[in-house]
């Protein structure tokens, strides 16, 4: 009943809807079931099912029955906030025409449970492209649907299964989704690389990647090639096999100066500058982060944008960094930049050196570690130290981490700050010759 209530939830409350359904069943002498009663109430409210040719009407919501003619497998894409999304398409029809259902994220993953020939009851709204319907709710129906004979398929050729030999660069944790029948499923993503560059790997049977670690060279048999230039992507399922092989594979890297067009790139260089992370509210209402760093190689320098948890990590100038499978795009000021999302892979190497150090700064502690910041440079510091305390530390610096030998608290004096404020006030009140005071200030 919840399925049909979604069609009229802007017209009456759930309680009133259920009351009308019960009333409809009683008026029919208990000859109709709850499902039929709900459909009759929806029809009474002017939200009855339509034929596919009626989907062109100027309505914000549609309900209709249709038969599955063809479907596409779920495909990942990059959102504007750097996160990954999923989208799938289903071509459906009846005796009046065809339309394309567009399913997003969890609904896209659940589309794997839908088969050609299934009859669906759909609640949806007009999509972004003319003729598309964005599916809000779908369920299997038991009625018969006859389709037209002159149907244009979504894809002219079936997806090709290929054998791929590549090095596994990164592997994500399994992600859960809910199927159409309410049961749960899992998928897992990763990045692979070879002499042609990098590619996204999607597994709809996550157990096929058990006991395989990044860095392993793999032979993937029966992978479905989902590539669309310039993005390479392969998916694996129960018909695929993955086995480690003894083979050295060098992944193609791109020079920074060669990143001139939109596409997917991999670079290796040194971090030349780290900008602070900024927080923002994502579209789903959760708080996320974004951070920019500059990476330089022998050919030039480029801005790299990190999103989500990756933006919250610590980065240090001078470290060597390797970035696989990042997306090039035009930045706000028109320059080319790389966007690092969950489908990318990052490796950082810190130069190893040991030297004595003495530094005075503020302790900054968060879930990623504890740092001491002297106003120009941040260092990781071993041990537990109170957040916000000003201390003077002597010890040994190894890479970016200080092993402290002595730590003493420092009492901050307000006098230096007050002195700077007095100097600034004097400058505003009595500007040097040739500099005019702002009209808003006293002269």
Instruction: Using the structure block, give the residue that is written with the tokens 């957040």.
Output: 387
Residue 75, Cβ neighbours under 10 Å: how many? 18
Q: Which residues on neighbouring strands pair with residue 324, listed in sequence order?
A: 345
- Residue 178: pLDDT above 80? no
425 token code pair = 């006030």
* CA–CA gap between residue 386 and residue 376 (Å, rounded): 20
- Residue 435: pLDDT above 60? no
Q: How many Å from the N-terminal Cα to the C-terminal Cα in the chain?
A: 75
Would the CATH topology of 2-140 be identical to that of 261-345? yes
- Residue 205: pLDDT above 70? yes
Q: Which CATH superfamily is domain 161-244 in?
A: Nucleic acid-binding proteins (2.40.50.140)
Higher pLDDT, 213 or 414: 213
Average confidence (pLDDT) over 179-194: 79
- Residue 42: pLDDT above 60? yes
For the chain, the average pLDDT equals: 82
**70-115 pLDDT, tens digit each:** 888 888 777 766 677 888 889 998 888 888 899 888 888 878 788 8
**268-311 pLDDT, tens digit each:** 999 998 888 888 887 667 788 889 999 999 999 999 999 888 88
Strands 401-409 and 378-381, sheet pairing: parallel
Report the half-sphere exposure of 84 (CA within 13 A, side-chain side). 20
Average confidence (pLDDT) over 360-385: 84
What are the boundaries of each domain within the chain?
A: 2-140, 161-244, 261-345, 354-409
CB-count burial class (<10 Å; 0-12, 13-18, 19+) for 30: exposed
**Residues of the chain with pLDDT > 70: what percent?**
85
DSSP annotation of 204 reads: S
DSSP annotation of 197 reads: E
Strands 390-398 and 197-203, sheet pairing: unpaired
Higher pLDDT, 403 or 45: 403
Strand intervals (E) in 205-335: 217-225, 233-236, 241-244, 263-274, 278-281, 287-297, 300-307, 320-330
Residue 244 near residue 218 (C-beta atoms within 8 A): yes
Higher pLDDT, 182 or 219: 219
**Residues of the chain with pLDDT > 90: what percent?**
24
- CATH number of the domain at 354-409, out of 2.40.50, 3.30.450, 1.10.1060, 2.60.40? 2.40.50
Strands 75-78 and 197-203, sheet pairing: unpaired
Lowest pLDDT segment from 163-167, 213-217, 231-235, 432-436: 432-436
* CA–CA gap between residue 202 and residue 188 (Å, rounded): 6
DSSP annotation of 28 reads: T
- Residue 142: pLDDT above 80? no
Residue 332, Cβ neighbours under 10 Å: how many? 7
Residue 67 near residue 94 (C-beta atoms within 8 A): yes
Under CATH, which architecture does the 2-140 domain have? Beta Barrel (2.40)
- Residue 264: pLDDT above 50? yes
Lowest pLDDT segment from 13-22, 234-243, 254-263: 13-22
pTM of this structure: 0.56
Please determine, looking at this structure, whether the domain spanning 261-345 carries the CATH number 3.40.50.150: no
pLDDT confidence of 153, banded at 50, 70, 90?
Answer: low
Average confidence (pLDDT) over 253-275: 90
Cα 128–130–136 angle (5° rounding)?
50
């Amino acid at each position: 009943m919840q399925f049909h209530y979604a069609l009229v939830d802007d017209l009456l409350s759930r309680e009133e809807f259920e009351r009308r359904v019960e009333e409809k069943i009683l008026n029919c002498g208990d000859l109709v079931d709850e499902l039929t009663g709900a459909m009759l109430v929806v029809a009474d409210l002017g939200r009855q099912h339509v034929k596919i040719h009626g989907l062109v009407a100027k309505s914000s919501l549609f309900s209709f029955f249709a038969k599955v003619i063809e479907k596409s497998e779920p495909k990942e894409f990059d959102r504007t906030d750097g996160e990954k999304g999923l989208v799938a398409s289903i071509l459906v029809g009846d005796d009046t025409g065809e339309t394309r259902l567009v399913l997003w994220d969890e609904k896209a993953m659940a589309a794997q449970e839908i088969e050609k020939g299934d009859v669906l009851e759909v609640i949806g709204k007009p999509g972004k492209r003319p003729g598309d319907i964005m599916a809000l709710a779908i369920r299997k129906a038991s009625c018969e649907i006859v389709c037209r004979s002159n149907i244009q398929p979504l894809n002219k050729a079936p997806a090709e299964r290929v054998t791929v030999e590549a090095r596994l660069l990164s592997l994500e944790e399994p992600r859960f989704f809910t199927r159409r029948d309410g049961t749960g499923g899992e998928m897992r993503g990763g990045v692979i690389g070879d002499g042609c560059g990098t590619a996204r790997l999607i597994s709809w049977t996550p157990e096929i990647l058990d006991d395989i670690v990044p860095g392993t060279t793999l032979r993937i048999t029966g992978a479905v090639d989902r590539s669309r230039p310039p993005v390479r992507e392969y998916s694996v399922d129960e018909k695929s096999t993955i086995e480690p092989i003894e083979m050295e594979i060098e992944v193609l890297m791109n020079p920074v100066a060669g990143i001139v067009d939109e596409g997917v790139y991999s670079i290796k260089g040194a971090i030349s500058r780290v900008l602070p992370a900024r927080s923002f509210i994502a579209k789903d209402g959760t708080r996320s982060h974004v951070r920019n760093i500059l990476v330089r190689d022998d050919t030039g320098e480029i801005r790299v944008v990190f999103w989500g948890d990756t933006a919250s990590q610590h980065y240090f100038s001078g470290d060597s960094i390797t970035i696989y499978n990042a997306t090039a795009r035009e930045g706000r000021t028109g320059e080319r930049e790389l966007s690092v999302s969950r489908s990318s892979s990052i490796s950082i190497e810190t130069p190893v050196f040991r030297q004595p150090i003495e530094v005075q700064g503020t302790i900054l502690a968060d879930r990623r570690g504890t740092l001491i910041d002297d106003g120009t440079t941040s260092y990781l510091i071993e041990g537990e130290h109170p957040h916000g305390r000003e201390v003077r530390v002597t010890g040994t610096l190894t890479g970016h981490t200080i092993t402290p030998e002595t730590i003493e608290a420092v009492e901050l004096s307000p006098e230096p700050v007050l002195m700077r404020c007095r100097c600034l006030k004097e400058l505003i009140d009595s500007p040097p010759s040739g500099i005019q005071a702002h009209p808003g200030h006293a002269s």
